Structures are given as structure tokens and as C-alpha cells.
A and B are shown apart, each in its own frame.
Chain A
Amino acid sequence: MSFITRGFSGRSRDRDDRLPPGQTLVPDFPVLSAGPTPEVDTAEWEFTIRTESGVHRWNWDEFMALAIEDVDTDIHCVTHWSKLGTNWRGVSLDTLFEHVETEREFVMAHSYGGYTTNVPLDELLGGKAWVAFEFDGEPLEPEHGGPARLLVPHLYFWKSAKWVRGLLMMDEDEPGFWEQNGYHLHGDPWTEERYW
């Protein structure tokens, strides 16, 4: 509980508390891609989790049969835009990891098209991450990462890998695509972990 009202916070009255430092609200949904948009047919799509003991695999139909959650969340891009109250549907990583046994604590997300990004496993569990396939009530468009993308809204949005195809469990936290090339290994928008 907070006993400090907005008036005593010293912040601008116009500044939304949901907005991390250095961010600006946008009404639209900018598209940032590191390459051509992969066209992935759901008939060919599959999602895997690779651990030290084997591979867990779901095709599209198996994936759709899992518990599906509605997610209302704010998203924050490292390029300084934020979008509040976005609506998604997807499968929680808690559900996907329900029957996965692993001692490894770090994850490399791999995407169709070759993109990778790293996230510690404990930042994907506990209701903090999903594999999302709908945005605003519509199937996720390819340019926004469809048929399915990772959704890790408490980190900068480059961690929410578009066109996600699988998670590789790792012993160490290794940098993904943008993390090798200047961006922060972790990416917390509230502490502005933007770059090395």
C-alpha cells in the first residue's frame, strides 16, 4: 500500500506511472525486424523445449489444446516507445514447462528466420511470460511475429522473440542476437538496461 499520493510524488501530473523512464507512449504498434518476415504455416509450425535430457515438442494443434490465457499487459520497446494495455492470448510458459525437468537455469529463444534472444528461466516462469498467438482478438500477423511469438512484457520487447520456434536450455546466460551486438544481456525497462 502506498501512502504517497500522486500529488506528493514530485512527478509530472501528465506522466503515467506505468511508463518506465525514457519511454514515450505510442498509439500504434511499430514494427522492428532484423530481416525478412518469415512466412510460417501453422501446418508446418512446431514449438520445442530442448533440455539436457531431450526434446519436448508441440505441433500447432497440440499447442492449441493447452490452457490458453488472456493477457492484458504493457509493452516497452528499447527504442523508447511503450504501449499500455495491450491484449494478447497465448499459452503460459508455466504450462509449457509443467512436465519439463531441467537443471539448466538459462534459456535461449530461437525463432524462425534465425533470431535468438536470451532470458533466465526464472524470468519466464511465475506468470511472467507466454507464447502468444493472438493480438487484440486477431491472429498475430506475421509482421508482429505470427503465428506465435514469445511475450515477456516485463523486459524490453526485443526479448519477446517474434516467430518463436523453440527454447534451448543453457547452463550459462549467453547473449542472443542483439545482446551480442550492443544490447543489454538482461533488458529491464525500469532500470533502463538498454545497452552493454
Chain B
Amino acid sequence: MEHVDGNALAGPLAEFFSFDATTATARCNGCGAIGELARAMVYRSGAGTVVRCSSCDHVLATLVETAGRAWIGLSGISAIEVPRGPATSSG
């Protein structure tokens, strides 16, 4: 199967990374719970922000922010569901 390079991600990821985190749901890699990100437990410290599963305490995501640079880690999440409008393509 042919593949294209990562520039093809520009469209879909622009939509994805502009999602409203308060309405998205995520699946925890620790316990498998699927829940709204808004219900996760968020720990803020100077080093970064840690998002933990409200069911099992597993780390879902991390945010590290500094002047001019930022990192988001999503290693504890297998997938995020983001709300979108009516389908525009049947693929």
C-alpha cells in the first residue's frame, strides 16, 4: 500500500488539535475506562501539568510549557474521541 508523507496530516490534525478538551472523551490505557477528559484529575506543578484517570489514577497526559515551547504527552491514552459536525464525506 502506498503512503504519503506527514504533510497530509495538516488538515485532519488541525481539526483534531483544535478540539474542545472539555467535551472530548478518552480511553485510559491503565484501566480501559472511557470517560470525559473534563472529569479527569489534573495536578498542576511548576514542572508541568499531569492529567490522571479518575477511575484508576493512571497518568493519561502531561503538559510541559515554557517560554516559546510546549509539549503534550498522551502516552496514557489509547484514543481520544472529539465531537464533530455531520459527516461531510463517506470516504
Contact = CB atoms under 8 A, between A and B. Distances in A.
A32 interface: yes
B75 to A, nearest CB: 7
B57 interface: yes
Interface in A24-77: 30-36, 77
A135 interface: no
B64 interface: yes
B47 to A, nearest CB: 5
B66 A194 contact: yes
Contact of B64 (A31, A33, A36, A182): A182
Contacts of B52: 35
B45 A182 contact: no
A34 B58 CA distance: 11
A149 to B, nearest CB: 15
B47 A35 contact: no
Nearest to B30: A114
Interface size class of B (residues with CB under 8 A): 10 to 19
B69 A178 contact: no
A30 B47 CA distance: 11
B17 interface: no
A33 B43 CA distance: 8
Interface string A97-126: 000000000000000001000000000000
B57 A181 contact: no
Interface string B3-32: 000000000000000000000000000000
Interface residues of A, number: 21
Contact of A178 (B43, B48, B66, B75): B48
B91 interface: no
A162 to B, nearest CB: 12
A139 to B, nearest CB: 23
B47 A79 contact: yes
B83 interface: no
A34 B45 contact: yes
A195 B71 CA distance: 10
Nearest to B46: A79
Interface of B: 43, 45-48, 50, 52, 57, 59, 62, 64, 66, 69, 71, 73, 75
5 contacts: A33-B45, A78-B47, A79-B47, A177-B59, A183-B47
Interface of A: 30-36, 77-79, 114, 158, 177-178, 180-183, 194-196
Top 3 nearest A-B pairs (CB, nearest first) are: A182-B71, A79-B46, A182-B64
